[in-house]
Amino acid sequence: MRIFLDANILVSVLNKEYPLFTYTSRILSLADKSKFTLFTSPVCLAIGFYFAEKKYKSISAKNKIQILCGHLHIAAINKNTVLQSVQNPEINDFEDGLEYYSALESRCDCIITEDINDFYFSKIEVLNSESFFEKYLFGN
């Protein structure tokens, strides 16, 4: 299963934000399992860095991002992704459009985000971390 992680999932892990960390850290640990491939985008990493830097300062935030990048695939954001995002009349939030088309181009099966309503236009499954955990991991 190919999974796209939105910025708020990364922020939860980087900053150990409870109660979400309970689910998001388990989801991130799927990177070590061959059944799952985890993706995020450069935009999500930048957002994650911004919030980690506010909590931990720059050097520590960079180290956390570097470790995170060792476990994730980085989905491309290119001209095609940008154009699809701005040309789709259903998409009101440009950043969400970038994430969505980045996930599609990476052939992701689902997007995990805590803001599932932001992806109302999605043609692929969108779950929050707790729902993903219950649907795909609980009891495994």
- The CATH number of the domain holding residue 9 is 3.40.50.1010
Task: Compute the average pLDDT of residues 23-35.
Answer: 93
Domain presence at residue 90:
yes
Q: What is the pLDDT of residue 140?
A: 57
Domain presence at residue 140:
no
What is the token pair recorded at 69?
A: 């990048």
Q: What is the pLDDT of residue 113?
A: 98
Q: Is the pLDDT of residue 74 over 90?
A: yes
Q: Residue 78: give the domain boundaries.
A: 2-22+35-110
Distance CA 132, CA 117 (A): 15
Domain presence at residue 119:
no
Domain presence at residue 60:
yes
Domain presence at residue 130:
no
Mean pLDDT of the chain: 94
Of 47, 43, 42, 40, residue with least CA distance to 61: 47
Domain presence at residue 138:
no
Q: Is the pLDDT of residue 83 over 70?
A: yes
In eight-state DSSP terms, residue 134 is: I
* End-to-end Cα, the chain, rounded Å: 15
Count of structural domains within the chain: 1
H-helix or E-strand spanning residue 110: strand 110-112
Distance CA 79, CA 113 (A): 24
This prediction's pTM: 0.94
Q: Is the pLDDT of residue 115 over 80?
A: yes
Q: In the structure, what pLDDT confidence band is assigned to residue 56 with cuts at 50, 70 and 90?
A: confident
Domain presence at residue 12:
yes
Q: What is the pLDDT of residue 137?
A: 84
Domain presence at residue 29:
no
